[in-house]
Chains A and B, each alone.
Chain A
Amino acid sequence: MTSHVRDSHHSEHPDTATTAGAKAHARAQHGRTADVMRHVPATSSPTAPDGVPAAGLVWSETVAPGGYTTAVLARGTRIRLTDVDGDACAHLLIHRADGPHERLNVADTVKVPWQAYLGKGHPLLSGFGRLLATVVADTSGRHDALAGTTTRDGNHARYGAGAPESASPAGRELLLLAALKNGLGPRDLPPTPSLFKGVRVDSDGRFEWQGSAGAGTHVDLLLHVDAIVSLANTAHPLDPRPEFTCSALRMHAWPAAGDLDLLISGDLVGPLRPEHRQAAANTDADLIARGVL
């Protein structure tokens, strides 16, 4: 049996019996592409959004169903998340890069603007009275800031597995990996919002599942601070379908510092509400005091 395995291995990879052969075999794999991958450099992306030249991209990635990514991005970066095939669900976490104890706070993000449902113009707030990002475009309208993400035990009960290497990875496990990659850990994972799967609250306070708006929708986020942006692409905790269902998520990012001025002047998403304006002012005041602005 052992020799049979070795023989079949040899016939498949005839040159990997030596270090030289193994090296040549490994190096011959460079330059291949896959449906789900990050394009490095981003300017080489074959998936640039319409109207956004690939030459201007700082990030281009297609995140697998059940995958995650994490990027450290500068203030003024515009991020486009695209639900390519209609079953992406982007669980989103934002930490401030230069002080990650400051992070997306969903309670303040719904309470302060007096609005539970995310959409164009919604401020994404930290727990320290500052603006981390603003939703500046949204062609989906199906999102959720209340029900959070999935757990390992929960997905095990639902689908039979919840580990990140399984076919039904839990969002919390994926976001934990993203946090760990940045030197953070379990205490750095607060409740997270998710994009592309709608949830509403009925008059009795019960959740109503809306699901997807369909293939090809996108959401744009504009960063107000240097940030660690982490995304887990996995089924929503309230997704009623018995089978784990998820499709690819695309992420592009490009510098758009001019959009910050347009946002504040009311020329990007319309006039800002007073809470949003004040949050931007608090953020700018902090960066001015640090000598960053």
Chain B
Amino acid sequence: MNAPTAVKYAPLVPGPVVLDEEVDARAAWSAVVAAGDVLTIVDLEGNQAVDCLLYSAADTGVRYSASETIARQGGIVLTTGSVLRADTGAALMTVVGDEVGVHDTLGGACSKESNTLRYGQHTRAQHGCMENFLLEGSRHGLGAKDLASNINWFMNVPVDPDGALGIVDGLSAPGKRVALRADVDALVLVSNCPQVNNPCNAFNPTPVRMIVTRPGEAA
């Protein structure tokens, strides 16, 4: 179903490439991005939610906090300039480039268990982001209590005046990119979202590309 990735995508922030990996549709991924390096995430085929958690690599007890991040910036939209903060308030990463303009951090991760609430018991068997987070996190010594409200790159979750909120059609498109600069050595945990019951992946999970550059050094 997924077309092969013929196009070579460039990092959003130039510099020597220290990592360039494709994440299969529905798969997990993780890496430590060194302080100062920039991670570019490429939405290869468009409208692919990339669920993401961040930790200080030096102390994974210091983890991304959606609430601290949006309280400190005064609003719910993640885009260029958003400082992605830990629950201590410390900066973990900063969004330094964004070709979409809106990313979500309210909606959390999908799971087999929450699928039963949202779509019915028959969806429990489907793969979910919590599975990816748990298994990939376990490679770094993390467990269930280390998971908290995450970021959803390329996902669109508006809040209506009456408080109604939901995942609606995405604003991304093939090749759109978002770039994150690490403010500390940051462990980045990703689930390339496998959800097929709502528009977060345009009902069709697709691969994404992860490119880490080191802007401080000459290319």
A interface residue numbers (CB < 8 A to B): 100-103, 105-108, 110-112, 114-117, 125, 127-130, 146-149, 151-154, 172, 185-192, 200-201, 203-207, 237-238, 275, 278-279, 282
A282 with B149: in contact, given A107-B108, A146-B76, A147-B70 (CB under 8 Å)?
A: no
- Does the CB pair B147–A116 fall under 8 Å? no
- Does the CB pair B165–A110 fall under 8 Å? yes
**Distance of A132 from chain B, by nearest CB (Å):** 13
CB contacts (< 8 Å) of B70 on chain A: these are: 146-147, 207
- Does the CB pair B68–A146 fall under 8 Å? no
> Which of A152, A190, A192, A206 is most buried by chain B, counting CB atoms within 10 A of its CB?
A190
Give 8 new A-B contacts, CB below 8 A, not counting A128-B113, A146-B67, A207-B76: A105-B149, A107-B107, A108-B108, A116-B165, A129-B117, A191-B148, A191-B149, A205-B77
A278 with B116: in contact, given A106-B67, A148-B68, A205-B75 (CB under 8 Å)?
A: yes
* Cross-chain contact of A129 among B87, B109, B116, B162 (Cβ < 8 A): B116
* CA distance in complex: A207, B73 (Å): 9
1/0 contact trace for B54-82 toward A, CB 8 Å? 00000001010111101110111100000
* CA distance in complex: A279, B166 (Å): 18
* Cross-chain contact of A111 among B88, B107, B116, B145 (Cβ < 8 A): B107
The contact sample of 27 A-B pairs, CB cut-off 8 A, is A107-B107, A108-B108, A108-B114, A111-B107, A111-B114, A114-B166, A116-B164, A117-B162, A117-B163, A127-B130, A127-B147, A128-B113, A129-B113, A146-B70, A148-B65, A148-B67, A152-B88, A153-B88, A187-B61, A187-B145, A191-B65, A191-B67, A191-B68, A201-B159, A207-B74, A275-B118, A278-B116
**Distance of A278 from chain B, by nearest CB (Å):** 5
CB contacts (< 8 Å) of A205 on chain B: these are: 75-77, 102, 159
- Top 3 closest A-B pairs, CB basis? A107-B108, A148-B67, A129-B113
* CA distance in complex: A114, B118 (Å): 10
- Does the CB pair A149–B165 fall under 8 Å? no
* CA distance in complex: A198, B112 (Å): 32
Residue of B nearest to A204 (CB): B75
**Distance of A286 from chain B, by nearest CB (Å):** 10
CB contacts (< 8 Å) of A186 on chain B: these are: 61, 87
- Does the CB pair B106–A146 fall under 8 Å? yes
- The secondary structure that dominates the B interface is loop
A151 with B89: in contact, given A115-B163, A146-B106, A201-B76 (CB under 8 Å)?
A: yes
1/0 contact trace for B103-134 toward A, CB 8 Å? 00011110111111110110000000010000
* Cross-chain contact of A275 among B117, B149, B162 (Cβ < 8 A): B117
A111 with B146: in contact, given A128-B113, A186-B61, A278-B116 (CB under 8 Å)?
A: no
CB contacts (< 8 Å) of B114 on chain A: these are: 108, 111-112, 125, 127, 129
CB contacts (< 8 Å) of B111 on chain A: these are: 127-129
Q: B144 in the interface, Cβ–Cβ < 8 Å?
A: yes
- Does the CB pair A148–B71 fall under 8 Å? yes
**Distance of B124 from chain A, by nearest CB (Å):** 8
* CA distance in complex: A148, B88 (Å): 12
**Distance of B51 from chain A, by nearest CB (Å):** 11
Q: B174 in the interface, Cβ–Cβ < 8 Å?
A: no
A278 with B147: in contact, given A107-B109, A151-B68 (CB under 8 Å)?
A: no
Residue of B nearest to A101 (CB): B144
- Does the CB pair B71–A237 fall under 8 Å? yes
Residue of B nearest to A194 (CB): B67
* CA distance in complex: A286, B117 (Å): 15
**Distance of A115 from chain B, by nearest CB (Å):** 5
* CA distance in complex: A191, B63 (Å): 11
Residue of B nearest to A106 (CB): B149
- Does the CB pair A107–B149 fall under 8 Å? yes
- Does the CB pair B71–A238 fall under 8 Å? yes
* CA distance in complex: A189, B86 (Å): 12
* CA distance in complex: A188, B77 (Å): 26
* Cross-chain contact of B87 among A147, A172, A203, A282 (Cβ < 8 A): A172
CB contacts (< 8 Å) of B67 on chain A: these are: 106, 146-149, 191-192
Q: B216 in the interface, Cβ–Cβ < 8 Å?
A: no
* CA distance in complex: A189, B68 (Å): 12
> Which of A149, A191, A238 is most buried by chain B, counting CB atoms within 10 A of its CB?
A191
**Distance of B77 from chain A, by nearest CB (Å):** 4
CB contacts (< 8 Å) of A185 on chain B: these are: 61
CB contacts (< 8 Å) of A278 on chain B: these are: 116-117, 120-121
A190 with B148: in contact, given A108-B108, A206-B74 (CB under 8 Å)?
A: yes
